[in-house]
Amino acid sequence: MSSWEIIQQSLPMFEKGFVLTLWLSLIGIIGSIIVGLICSLLQYFKVPVFHQIATIYVEISRNTPLLIQLFFLYYAFPVLGIKFSAQVCGIIGLIFLGGSYMAEGFTGGFNGVAKGQVESGKAIGLSRWQLARYVVFPQGFSLSVPAMAANVIFLIKETSIFTVIAIPELTNTALDLIGMYYRSNEYLFVLVVAYAIILIPLSIILTLIEKRVRYGSFGN
């Protein structure tokens, strides 16, 4: 069979993997943003006890590889009687990892707000909440957009690691096909193209958004 025929025949399977990669990424990214936002707010307002818990979680999550986190969820947790399907493990793992990256992104944004802004806010007598609501958050969120954008791309790429717990996303589909038919060139080509189709337009859109929100940063 010619390379082209091989590629054509594999497309329906890649399509399934493509859709699954997108779905898992989407749920993972939304979950990560929620977890990250909660953690960064707990840290910003220094909520007693909870902000220490958030800090410990962030450090553990961001300093260990996703692969080990997934192995832990998928192979070690069932020993304790906690069992999830592979896809649920994948999503939990991705959110566990992504939450800390997003938290760091938001915190970086809040800390990046120029000192003069915060001091001026205090000087005109804003309360802690008003300072956060009207000064720090609006500027901090727009400052954190580049980090968020990098995290979104990073998390989509991390879904390729799901292959180790046999979730049939893009990478797993390609590796499966290679294992069955030994046509590594064709399947790897489709795989790279598939990631490019997701990531190139997305990174262009994210760059545009970054430019759009840059007006939010004063005094820098």
Is 139 or 160 the residue whose CB approaches other proteins more closely? 160
Q: Does 55 help bind other proteins (rule: CB under 8 A)? A: no
Q: Does 184 help bind other proteins (rule: CB under 8 A)? A: yes
Residue among 32, 135, 136, 158 that touches other proteins (CB under 8 A): 158
Is 13 or 175 the residue whose CB approaches other proteins more closely? 175
User: Binding string to other proteins for residues 112 to 151, with x set by CB under 8 A, is what?
Assistant: x-xx------------------------------------
Residue among 1, 47, 53, 76 that touches other proteins (CB under 8 A): 76
Q: Does 49 help bind other proteins (rule: CB under 8 A)? A: no
Q: Does 199 help bind other proteins (rule: CB under 8 A)? A: yes
- Nearest approach, Cβ of 192 to other proteins (angstroms)? 6
Q: Does 196 help bind other proteins (rule: CB under 8 A)? A: yes
Q: Which stretch binds other proteins (CB under 8 A): 5-13, 22-30, 196-204, 207-215?
A: 196-204
**CA gap 102, 108 in Å, rounded:** 10
Residue among 185, 204, 208, 211 that touches other proteins (CB under 8 A): 185
**What burial letters (b/e) apply to 27-50, b meaning 16+ CB within 10 Å?**
ebbebbbebbbbbbbbbbeeeeee
Question: How many residues contact other proteins, by CB under 8 A?
Answer: 41
Tokens of 136: 């720090």
164 with 67: CB under 8 angstroms? Answer: yes
- Nearest approach, Cβ of 99 to other proteins (angstroms)? 16
